[in-house]
Amino acid sequence: MKKYNIIILLTLMAMSGQALAWGQNGHRITGAIAQKYLSPKAQAAVQQILPNEDLAEASTYPDEMKSDPAEFWQKTANSWHYVTIPNGHRYHAVNAPEEGDAITALNQFTLTLKDPKTSLSDKQLALRFIVHIIGDLHQPMHVGSGKDRGGNDVKLQFFWQDSNLHRVWDSGLIEQRELSYTEWTDWLSKKISAEQAKQWMVSDPQVWMTESATIRDTVYPATDKLSYDYLYENMPIVKQRLQMGGLRIAAYLNAIFNK
């Protein structure tokens, strides 16, 4: 029985690892940056829906709940963390898989959040997912090509530890700096100029996905042993995607609640 339980646990961990994006800290960073750029109306709406929870805390909820054995978390919501855009193509919602993807989920949760008849609990779930999904779509490996499960199949060593390309982008690059999410948020926020904030406050998911797909195709390494060189080359991209992800969460929520 113990052996059987361990096998189940390892299977769930493997499934969860395929769907996580940015890791806990990365999501919290985007949520905390977003909090700074919410309009007064959006800020009030978020506070009403999540009275004791900021966007940094809300951002990790869909990943944390993947340990819940309910079918919703183990099957239904499993595909809502990523999209597939083959090389040289654009995303088309009509080609989304039957089980849905990040964009179909984002669209549905947006309708839920806008519906005045929606229950508070459903609005809370919708808001948490929206914050999380927008963060996901700014992690380049969550806009996969359909060839290698978003880099999960690209096995390699990152600083002499066994890993894969997806995990490196989820958390490896961020955690290597050994900073808390509040330190990351403080440092990254200070470096966003007014002009950058204006340019990056884009609420169109097509823009986010196109950016991520373009970046994705440039970050596949020429070697399977990654360390300081790869970190040096890609950390500027990581920082900018975290900054953009935070601003886009705010832009999207502002668009919803300012109407």
pLDDT at site 148: 94
Per the CB < 8 A criterion, the answer to whether 217 and 58 are in contact is no
User: What token pair was written down for 26?
Assistant: 């990365």
* Tens digit of each residue's pLDDT, the chain (259 residues): 444 343 333 333 333 344 456 789 999 999 999 999 999 999 999 999 999 999 999 999 999 998 999 999 999 999 999 999 988 888 876 578 888 999 999 999 999 999 999 999 999 999 999 999 999 999 999 999 989 999 999 999 999 999 999 999 999 999 999 999 999 999 999 999 999 999 999 999 999 999 999 999 999 999 999 999 999 999 999 999 999 999 999 999 999 999 7
pLDDT at site 97: 84
Task: Tell me if residue 231 falls in helix, strand or coil.
Answer: helix
Rounded alpha-carbon distances, angstroms, from residue 159 to 11, 25, 225, 226: 25, 19, 8, 6
Phi, psi of 161 (to 5 degrees): -115, 140
CATH class as words, domain 2-257? mainly alpha
CA dist., res. 135 & res. 254, Å (int)? 16
Residues whose CB is less than 8 angstroms from the CB of residue 111 and which lie 6 or more positions away in sequence, other chains included? none
CA dist., res. 24 & res. 40, Å (int)? 27
Query: Which residue from 214, 242, 238, 219 is spatially nearest to 85, judged by alpha carbons?
Result: 214
Residues whose CB is less than 8 angstroms from the CB of residue 124 and which lie 6 or more positions away in sequence, other chains included? 49, 50
Residues 139, 143, 147, CA angle at the centre, nearest 5°? Answer: 125
CA dist., res. 222 & res. 52, Å (int)? 46
Place of tokens 């890791």: 23
pLDDT at site 98: 85
Beta strands in 186-239 (DSSP E): 225-226
All structural domains of the chain with their residue ranges = 2-257
Residues in the chain: 259
CA dist., res. 114 & res. 154, Å (int)? 40
pLDDT at site 21: 66
pLDDT at site 8: 36
Task: Tell me if residue 137 falls in helix, strand or coil.
Answer: coil
Beta strands in 50-125 (DSSP E): 83-84
pTM above 0.85, yes or no: yes
Handedness of CA 241, 144, 227, 171 (dihedral sign): positive
